[in-house]
Amino acid sequence: MILEPASPGSPAQAGALFVQIPAELDPRLVDGIGTQRQRLAQLSPAQRSYLVLERYPELRAFGACDWQRLSVRTTFSILFGESGRHYAKLELAV
């Protein structure tokens, strides 16, 4: 299990000290679109939003955005799809 500190005031884990992402569910630890998507689907909304905000901390500037409402598909696109490889496309995805 990977314990990662949540950012202070992070909407992903307001009031929590750590986000727990078990190694067997962490999509960052595997290759392959299907496996990454399956693992994302098994994570909670808080865990998925944490992964997005960890990778792109500047997105915290959108304070009114409820990051836990991101779908698995959108989260996958941000982290592993074309959006994740080009920041301008990330802005469009969000």
pTM of the entire predicted model: 0.71
* pLDDT at residue number 58: 86
Helix, strand, or coil here: 73?
A: helix
For residue 73, CA distances in Å to 27, 41, 43, 90 come to 13, 9, 13, 13
pLDDT tops 90 at residue 50: yes
Mean predicted confidence (pLDDT) in 33-53 = 95
Domain boundaries, the chain: 2-93
